[in-house]
Each structure stands twice: as structure tokens, then as C-alpha cells.
């Protein structure tokens, strides 16, 4: 038995509808979802790049501290106070076996402001090692993030602070992070 023609005309089979492609609304929804996912991915990528830069700077500082400790220990064993005093005014980058690729050298205070981010430099005037981060800031008024390090002499303040039976030490040097102002 055949169905009347009036009932089969209004029904569209799913296979025939798929042949027409996506509707404009479906395409817009897919584009919005894709752009949101891309924005989240780019934000996370920038975060991980900043973290990798910080980890690299921390590793270099740890290497400089090790080299400084080794040189200070060597001077202490040889009881060479002059060499220990030279370490206080020394550029800590010079203690490494080789300079990092992003080291610009020793610079005076005026030309230090013109450096692009992502580099180390040693400020001769203040005797401070500086790293300028290249992380992008959200607003123009945000300052560029910088780390400042200085080699300083340290020792116990008085003989009274030392436990009985200890030798009178001349002190040592350390690479410490300081405020840049």
C-alpha cells in the first residue's frame, strides 16, 4: 500500500540535510570556541615562558654563588685576605667558566636604562649585577621586572656572639639579592 503524496513531501531525510553543509550559526559557535581555546593556550604559553626565564636566571645565580663560595673558600684556606677583599668588588659573572650568552658586559648607570629586556649586565657605578626580565606587562605603567645582586662581605658581629672554642674568622663573601634603588 502506498502512502499519499502529501505526507512524503514535507519530510527531509537526514542524509539529504547533511549534504548542504554547516549552517552559519554552527560555524560561528565553532569559531568562538576555537578562539577561546587559542586565547587560553596563548596565555598559558606566556606564563610558562616567564617561568622558564625565571628558572634560567635562578640557575645562573646558583652557579655564580657556587663559584663565589669556591673562590672565597680557596682564599680562606690560603689565608689570603687581599684576594677575599677583591671578591667583594668583583663582577660575579667573571667567576664563571664562561659568560652566559645573554650577558651584555659591564655598563655605567646611564647606558643601563637603554638595554632591552632579557639580558644580564654589571653596573660598574653601583657594583651591582642586574637581570632585566623580558616578561610582557599588561599595562604600560607597569615597571619592567629586574633582579639586582651584589657581592657583600659578611661575618659575625662580635667575638661574644661566637661559641667558645671557635677560631676568629675573617668572614666570607656572599652573592645576595638587593633592592635596586
Q: Write the pLDDT tens digit of every residue in 53-75.
A: 999 999 999 999 999 999 988 98
Q: Write the pLDDT tens digit of every residue in 110-167.
A: 666 677 788 999 988 888 998 988 876 554 545 568 888 888 887 655 555 556 555 5
What residues does each domain of the chain span?
Answer: 23-160
User: What is the pLDDT averaged over residues 92-102?
Assistant: 91
* Rounded alpha-carbon distances, angstroms, from residue 167 to 71, 156, 160, 162: 20, 12, 12, 9
Which of these, 160, 147, 85, 139, lies nearest to 118 by C-alpha position?
147
Amino acid at each position: 500500500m502506498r502512502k499519499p503524496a502529501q505526507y512524503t513531501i514535507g519530510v527531509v531525510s537526514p542524509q539529504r540535510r547533511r549534504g548542504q553543509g554547516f549552517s552559519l550559526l554552527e560555524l560561528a559557535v565553532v569559531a568562538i570556541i576555537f578562539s577561546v581555546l587559542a586565547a587560553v593556550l596563548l596565555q598559558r604559553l606566556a606564563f610558562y615562558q616567564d617561568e622558564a626565564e625565571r628558572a634560567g636566571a635562578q640557575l645562573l645565580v646558583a652557579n655564580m654563588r657556587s663559584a663565589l663560595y669556591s673562590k672565597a673558600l680557596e682564599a680562606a684556606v690560603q689565608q689570603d685576605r687581599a684576594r677575599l677583599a677583591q671578591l667583594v668588588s668583583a663582577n660575579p659573572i667573571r667567576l664563571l667558566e664562561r659568560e652566559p650568552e645573554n650577558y651584555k658586559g659591564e655598563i655605567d648607570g646611564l647606558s643601563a636604562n637603554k638595554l632591552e629586556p632579557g639580558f644580564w649586565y654589571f653596573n660598574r657605578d653601583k657594583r651591582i649585577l642586574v637581570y632585566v626580565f623580558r616578561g610582557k606587562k599588561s599595562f604600560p605603567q607597569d615597571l619592567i621586572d629586574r633582579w639586582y645582586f651584589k657581592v657583600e662581605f659578611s661575618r659575625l658581629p662580635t667575638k661574644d656572639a661566637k661559641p667558645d672554642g671557635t677560631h676568629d674568622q675573617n668572614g666570607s663573601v656572599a652573592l645576595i639579592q638587593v633592592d635596586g634603588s
